[in-house]
Amino acid sequence: MQEKMNKVIWSVVFLLLFLLLLCLVYTNSFQKNNTSFDTHLFYMDTSIYVNLYEQNETKAKEALKEVEKLYQKYHQLTDRYQAYDNGINLYFLRENTREEEWITIDSELYFLLEESLKYYEMSDGLFAVQMGNLTDVWKRAIEEETLPSREELEKTKEYKEIILQDGKIYNNHANIDLGAVAKGYATKKVGEYLNSIGIRKYIINAGGNVLVGEHYGSDAYKIGIEDPTSSIGGIFAKVKANNKAVVTSGGYQRFFEIDGKRYNHIINPKTLYPSDNFLSVTVIAEDSMQADILSTILFLMDIDTGLEWIEGMDDVEAIWYVSEFEQIASSGFNEYLYE
C-alpha cells in the first residue's frame, strides 16, 4: 500500500516537472518566433528608431527599406534648406523664381498645409506653420546663444499667408516651417504602410514621436516619459499602450540660457518668444499627426484652455509637466499609467 502511494506521488511529481519544463521551452521559443528587426535612421533633423516584430526575415528587411524611403520622402518634401530633383518642397516654395502665380504641389504636401491651417484657426493662431521667419530667427539665436533683438522679432510679423486652392498654392514665397507636424505625419504614414503589408507589431520613435502597433507578446508597449528636470535621464511617468501614438513636446532639450533664463525652440507666435509655461507636454492619441500637432499647441496654450480642449476630444489624453512638483494629467490619462 505504502509503496503504491509512493509510486503515485512520484508519477505526479514527474508529470508536473515535465509540464513545467514544456511550458518554459514553449514560452522561450515563442519569444524567438517573433524575431525583432530594427534600424536607426537620420531624417528630419532627428534620429528615428524603427523596430519590427516579424517571423519572416526577408519581409521585415524589405519593410525596413520601404520605411526608410518613406521617411526620406517626407524629409525632402518638408525640407526648408535644400531643393531636390524629384519635386516641389518647402525650400522651393520660398526660393523659387518662377513666373506663374499658382504652383501645383504634391497632394500630401497640400494636405499637410491644409490641415495645418485648420489647426491655425482652431488654436486661434497658436499653431502657425506660416511663421517660418520667426522660427528661423530663434533657430539662429539658439545656435549662436544670443537673444534676437525686438526689432528683428517684430519684423517676422509681416509674414506671407499660405493660400491654397484646388491642389495649388499661391506663389508668394511664403516661408513655411512644418517642423511641428512633419515627423508625426511621416510616422503615421509609416504605420499605415506597415499595417497594409500585414506587419502589425512595431514600435517607432521618431525624435519624440512614438507610434506603437500591437504588442509582440501578450502585453502592451512600455513607454517611459523622461523627467525634464532629471540630469540622469530619470522617468516621471510610465505609460502602457498598444496601437497608439504618444508624442512629447519639450523645451528642455534644445535651448540656450542667458542670465539664468532658458529660451527653448518652441516659439509662441503671439508673444514672438519661446513658451515657458511647461517643461514638457505629452499627448496620447490614435493618430500620430494629431498627437504631434496637439503636443505643440498644448505646449503654447495655458493649462486651463488646454485641459478644456483635451477633455472635449474623444480618445485623446495629455500630461503637462509644469515643474518638478506639479504635473497635471487629463482625466483619462491615468488609465495608461502603470506602477
Partner 1 sequence: MNKADKVLILFLFGFGLLGLFFSQKRASSSYAEVYYQKELILQIDLETDLKQYKVKGKLGDVYLEAGDGKIRVIEENSPKHLCSRQGFVKRKGDTIVCLPNEIVIVLKGEKEMDTILR
Binding site for partner 1 (CB under 8 A): 7, 10, 14, 17-18, 20-21, 24-25, 28, 39-42, 45-47, 49, 51, 143, 203, 205, 208, 210, 212, 221-226, 231-233, 235, 238, 246-248, 250, 253, 282
Q: How far is the CB of 9 from partner 1 (least distance, A)?
A: 11
Amino acid at 151: E
Q: How far is the CB of 48 from partner 1 (least distance, A)?
A: 10
For partner 1, give the closer residue by CB, 28 or 107: 28
For partner 1, give the closer residue by CB, 253 or 334: 253
For partner 1, give the closer residue by CB, 169 or 316: 316
Q: How far is the CB of 259 from partner 1 (least distance, A)?
A: 19
Cell numbers 497635471: residue: 328
Amino acid at 187: T
Query: What interhelical angle do 288-300 and 107-122 show, nearest 10?
Result: 40
Q: How far is the CB of 21 from partner 1 (least distance, A)?
A: 6
Q: Which three three-digit cell numbers place residue 134?
A: 520667426
Number of other CB atoms surrounding residue 94 within 10 Å: 17
For partner 1, give the closer residue by CB, 24 or 337: 24
Count Cα atoms within 13 angstroms, Cβ side, for 235: 10
Distance CA 142, CA 228 (A): 19
For partner 1, give the closer residue by CB, 67 or 134: 67
Q: How far is the CB of 222 from partner 1 (least distance, A)?
A: 4
- Pairing, β 235-241 against β 102-104: unpaired
Strands (E), the chain: 36-43, 46-53, 102-104, 164-165, 168-170, 202-206, 209-212, 221-226, 235-241, 244-250, 255-258, 261-264, 280-285, 317-323, 326-329
Distance CA 36, CA 55 (A): 8
Distance CA 289, CA 296 (A): 11
Positive or negative, the CA dihedral 242, 279, 158, 145 is negative
For partner 1, give the closer residue by CB, 120 or 336: 336
Amino acid at 207: G
Q: How far is the CB of 31 from partner 1 (least distance, A)?
A: 9
For partner 1, give the closer residue by CB, 9 or 197: 9
How far from chain centre, in Å, is Cα 196?
Answer: 20
For partner 1, give the closer residue by CB, 27 or 323: 27
Q: How far is the CB of 135 from partner 1 (least distance, A)?
A: 18
Distance CA 283, CA 338 (A): 16
For partner 1, give the closer residue by CB, 76 or 282: 282
Q: How far is the CB of 136 from partner 1 (least distance, A)?
A: 17
Q: How far is the CB of 299 from partner 1 (least distance, A)?
A: 14
Assess contact for 48 and 190: CB atoms under 8 A: no
Assess contact for 289 and 113: CB atoms under 8 A: no
Cell numbers 501578450: residue: 218
Distance CA 230, CA 84 (A): 41
